[in-house]
Amino acid sequence: MNTADKRRFGGISRLFGQEGLECLNRSHVTVVGVGGVGSWVAEALARTAVGHITIIDGDTVEESNTNRQLPALQGHYGEKKVQVLARRLQAINPLAEITPVETFVDGTNFDETIPCCDVIIDCIDSLSAKTMLVARAKEKASYVLTSGGAGGKVDASRVAFTDIAHVKGDSLIAAMRTRLRKDYGFPKGKDGEKSKPFGIGAVYSDEPVCPSQDGEAGFGVFMGVTTTFAMRLAQACVQYLLRAQNRKEN
């Protein structure tokens, strides 16, 4: 695909080798939700030479997104997020296949909306949609990653990665984990024993949520934290793709 352009992605081949670069070129990753975390995940994957990226989100770019979301720029307010982001990703790697899907994923459209791919990365805010996606994602991909709640947090050094079964201190992940066990049959924890892994990687922060400081409703959001979530997700995704390639070769 784009391996002939040594200037554009030479830094990737020097880090991961030519075979690693070609592996990433062949890979297909789907990012669901391209807001404060997902938009930066997609950018990181494009700049790491992932050859096919599907981005799924039904929302539009709003002025209130400006403090944290990649597509939120003057001149793009009111446009579909996936379309703005798709143009940017294509400019990063003109030979990549970028597939924008303008919809919100739910239980009624999962089969036709989510493509078969190597990795699915969940960056949805809605608990019900998030739980459904994570529960069913392995029908479509060999590896699944999910993002916890980044709102109301300011300390990027507390962002961590583990299996979803072992996350502590993140209320969004905790609520999703409860629903996964209750509604989708995921393994339950036992008193005094470490829970069995779900096989789903999660990026989260155990930092207590900072309440609104200006009297307005909702949590504030700091780009320093949301982008750290995104980079940890991108890291886990790339590492998985390269490990999977190594397993095939050995």
Nearest-angstrom CA–CA distance, 35 and 60: 10
Q: Is the pTM of this model over 0.85?
A: yes
Q: 83-125: per-residue pLDDT in tens?
A: 999 999 999 999 999 999 999 999 999 999 999 999 999 999 9
Q: 107-117: per-residue pLDDT in tens?
A: 999 999 999 99
For the ranges 134-138, 151-155, 215-219, which has the lowest average pLDDT? 215-219
Residue 30 falls within a domain, yes or no? yes
What is the number of domains present in the chain? 1
Q: Does the pLDDT value for residue 247 go beyond 60?
A: yes
Nearest-angstrom CA–CA distance, 96 and 241: 17
Selected residue with higher pLDDT from 110 and 4 = 110
The CATH number of the domain where 202 resides is what? 3.40.50.720
User: In terms of residue numbers, what domain contains 88?
Assistant: 6-249
Nearest-angstrom CA–CA distance, 96 and 217: 40
Residue 1 falls within a domain, yes or no? no
